C-alpha cells in the first residue's frame, strides 16, 4: 500500500485517554519522500503534550509478522514508522476507569501515535524490512524494566485481532509468558509530593487527600528543604507534582537579623531548589503566595499587579513567586489571612470571648479570611482540571472586613458580645512595639479562579462552622496580633 502524501497535520482522539493518533504530512516525488517526524512547535500547538523527549530509539524488523508486546512502560512515547507498515495494538494498563480499554490501528510513514505512561504497546510488522522509531521522555535503564506492566498478546479480554495470527507470528518466549488482564496489577499514577505537610495547609491537604495513595506527605522530618541531600535522595521520576505548603511566616521575627536569614532561606533559597527540580524533571510545582507581596495601597489586588512588598516577609514571598514563575508547569496560589488547624487569630479571639476578655483589635486593615480546607480544595481543582498554568488568587468570598469586624463576629459566634471588641488603628496598636509593616488592603480579586470553575464559599459561612467546632477553637496562643 503506497504512502499517502501531503496529508494535513491532524490529531485523532482514541478510546484510550491520552492516546492520540496523528496524520503527518509526507512530501514525495520520484526520488523518495520527506517528513517532519517530530516538530515540537506545531505538534504542541495541535495539543500534543510537551513531553520533553530525551532518547530516540529505532526498532528494525526483518520479517513481516514479527510481533512485540504488550509492554506498558514508565514513560511517554511518540512512535512513527520510518519504513514499511505496522499493526499497532494499545491497551490501557493504568489504574482508573479506562483500565483494559483497547485501540488498534495500521500505521505507515504518514502516521504517528502518542502513548502516555502506563499504556501497553504492541506492534506487528506487515511488511519485510520494517523500521519504526520512538521518542521517549526518560532514559532507558535496566532498573526501569522493573517498573513495566505486561499483558499477554493473546489475552481474551483485550481480544485483539492480529493480522498475522499469533501462531504464525514471530514472538519471543518472554512475550508468550505474560499474564492475562485479570492477573495484571495496574500501573499506579505518578505521585504528588506535599512538602510542609505538618503546617495548617499541609494538614488540610492531608485530610482532603486521605486514602489517595498517589499523594505523599512530607513534613520537615521527612524532607528538609534546606538540604541538597534531601533533593538528591528522592527519585523524582516517580513524581508528577510538588505542592509546596512550607513557608516561614513569622512576619515580625523576619525583621530581625536571624529571622531575615531564615525567611530568605525557607521562602527563597529552598523554593529555588524546588523550582530547579521541577524544571529538570518536568514536574508541576504548586506554590503558596501571600497578600504581603503587595503594599496594600490598591483596594483589590489582581494576579498581575506588580510586587510592592513592605517588609522582609513580603520581600521573600515576592522573590519566591518570581522564582516559581519561570517553571513551565506552575501554579502560584496567592492567599491571605489563613485560618486552619493550628494557632491563629480566630482561635485566639474565641479563647478571649470564653474568658470574657475585651480586646482592642486593628480596624484599618481590610481583607478576607482564607480557610485552609478551601485553599486545599482550590489546589486540587486546579490540578484535577488541568487549568492553565499561572498565578491564581484564592481566599474565601464575601464582603471584605477589618480584623475588628472578624473579631466581633467570632465573639458573637462564641456567645460573647460584639461590643466587647473595640477598634484601634494599626499605628496605635503597634506603638512602641517592634513590628513589620502590614498592607492596609489585602482583598484579592477572585475572578480568574472563578473562570476555572472554582467558587470558594463565603468567609462568614466558614467562620461559623469553624467556631462551632469546639476542638478546633481551643486556645493555642494568647497573641491577638493579626496572624502572619
- Cα(475)–Cα(140) distance, integer angstroms: 55
- Cα(262)–Cα(158) distance, integer angstroms: 57
Cβ proximity of 323 and 273 under 8 Å? no
For residue 43, the tally of other CB atoms under 10 A from its CB is: 22
**Grid coordinates 504464525 are at which residue?**
168
For 297-356, give the DSSP string.
-SSSB-TTPPP---SHHHHHHHHHHHHHTTSSSEEEEEE-SEESSSS-HHHHHHHHHHTT
Residue 118 zone, left/alpha/beta (φ > 0; ψ -120 to 50; rest):
left
Which residues on adjacent β-strands are paired with residue 75? none
Question: Is 22 annotated in the active site?
Answer: no
Q: Give the pairing type, strands 390-393 and 330-335.
A: parallel
Which three cell numbers, joined as nine digits, stand for 276?
Answer: 530547579
- Catalytic, out of 22, 71, 178, 239: 71
DSSP tag of 265: I
- Cα(282)–Cα(134) distance, integer angstroms: 19
Question: Is 134 annotated in the active site?
Answer: yes
For 430-445, give the DSSP string.
TTTS------SB--B-
For 52-63, give the DSSP string.
---EEEEEEESS
Which three cell numbers, joined as nine digits, stand for 283?
Answer: 514536574
Q: Give the pairing type, strands 330-335 and 284-290.
A: parallel
Taking each helix axis as running N to C, give the angle between helix 345-354 and helix 403-413, from 0 to 180 degrees, rounded to the nearest 10: 50
For 16-34, give the DSSP string.
STT-EEEE--EEEETTEEE
- Catalytic, out of 132, 134, 209, 313: 134
Q: Which residues are known catalytic residues? A: 71, 134
Amino acid at each position: 500500500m503506497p504512502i499517502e502524501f501531503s496529508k494535513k497535520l491532524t490529531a485523532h482522539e482514541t478510546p484510550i485517554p491520552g492516546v492520540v493518533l496523528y496524520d503527518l504530512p509526507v512530501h514525495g516525488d520520484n526520488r523518495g519522500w520527506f517528513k517532519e517526524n517530530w516538530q515540537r512547535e506545531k505538534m504542541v500547538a495541535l495539543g500534543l503534550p510537551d513531553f520533553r523527549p530525551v532518547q530516540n530509539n529505532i526498532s528494525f524488523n526483518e520479517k513481516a509478522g514479527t510481533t512485540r508486546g504488550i509492554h506498558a512502560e514508565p514513560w511517554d512515547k511518540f512512535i512513527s514508522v520510518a519504513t514499511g507498515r505496522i499493526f499497532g495494538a494499545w491497551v490501557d494498563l493504568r489504574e482508573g476507569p479506562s483500565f483494559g480499554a483497547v485501540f488498534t490501528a495500521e500505521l505507515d510513514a504518514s502516521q504517528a501515535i502518542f502513548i502516555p505512561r502506563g499504556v501497553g504497546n504492541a506492534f506487528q510488522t506487515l511488511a519485510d524490512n520494517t523500521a519504526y522509531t520512538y521518542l521517549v521522555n526518560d532514559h532507558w535503564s535496566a532498573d526501569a524494566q522493573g517498573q513495566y506492566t505486561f499483558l499477554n498478546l493473546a489475552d481474551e479480554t483485550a481480544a485483539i485481532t492480529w493480522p498475522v495470527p499469533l501462531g504464525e507470528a514471530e514472538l519471543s518466549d518472554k512475550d508468550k509468558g505474560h499474564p492475562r488482564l485479570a492477573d495484571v496489577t495496574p500501573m499506579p499514577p505518578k505521585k504528588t509530593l506535599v512538602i510542609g505537610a505538618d503546617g495548617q495547609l499541609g494538614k488540610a491537604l492531608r485530610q482532603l487527600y486521605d486514602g489517595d495513595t498517589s499523594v505523599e506527605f512530607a513534613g520537615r522530618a521527612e524532607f528538609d528543604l534546606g538540604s541538597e541531600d534531601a533533593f538528591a535522595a528522592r527519585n523524582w521520576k516517580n513524581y508528577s507534582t510538588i505542592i509546596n505548603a512550607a513557608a516561614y511566616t513569622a512576619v515580625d521575627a523576619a525583621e530581625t537579623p536571624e529571622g531575615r536569614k531564615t525567611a530568605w532561606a525557607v521562602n527563597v533559597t529552598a523554593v529555588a531548589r524546588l523550582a530547579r527540580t521541577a524544571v529538570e524533571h518536568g514536574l508541576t510545582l504548586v506554590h503558596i503566595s501571600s497578600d504581603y507581596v503587595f503594599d496594600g495601597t490598591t483596594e483589590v489586588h489582581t494576579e498581575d499587579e506588580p510586587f510592592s512588598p513592605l517588609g522582609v516577609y513580603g520581600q521573600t514571598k515576592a522573590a519566591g513567586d518570581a522564582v516559581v514563575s519561570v517553571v513551565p508547569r506552575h501554579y502560584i496560589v496567592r492567599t491571605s489571612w489563613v485560618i486552619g488547624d493550628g494557632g491563629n487569630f480566630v482561635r485566639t479571639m474565641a479563647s478571649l470571648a470564653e474568658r470574657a476578655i475585651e480586646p482592642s483589635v486593628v480596624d484599618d486593615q481590610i481583607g478576607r479570611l482564607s480557610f485552609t480546607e478551601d485553599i486545599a480544595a482550590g489546589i486540587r481543582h486546579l490540578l484535577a482540571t488541568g487549568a492553565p498554568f499561572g498565578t491564581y488568587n484564592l481566599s474565601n468570598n464575601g464582603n471584605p472586613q477589618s480584623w475588628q469586624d472578624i473579631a466581633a463576629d467570632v465573639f458573637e459566634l462564641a456567645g460573647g458580645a460584639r461590643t466587647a471588641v473595640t477598634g484601634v488603628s494599626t499605628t496605635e496598636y503597634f506603638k512602641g512595639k517592634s513590628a513589620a509593616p502590614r498592607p492596609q488592603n489585602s482583598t484579592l480579586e477572585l475572578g480568574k479562579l472563578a473562570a476555572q470553575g472554582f467558587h470558594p464559599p463565603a468567609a462568614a459561612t466558614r467562620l461559623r462552622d469553624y467556631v462551632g467546632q469546639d476542638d478546633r477553637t481551643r486556645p493555642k496562643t494568647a497573641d491577638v496580633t493579626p496572624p502572619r
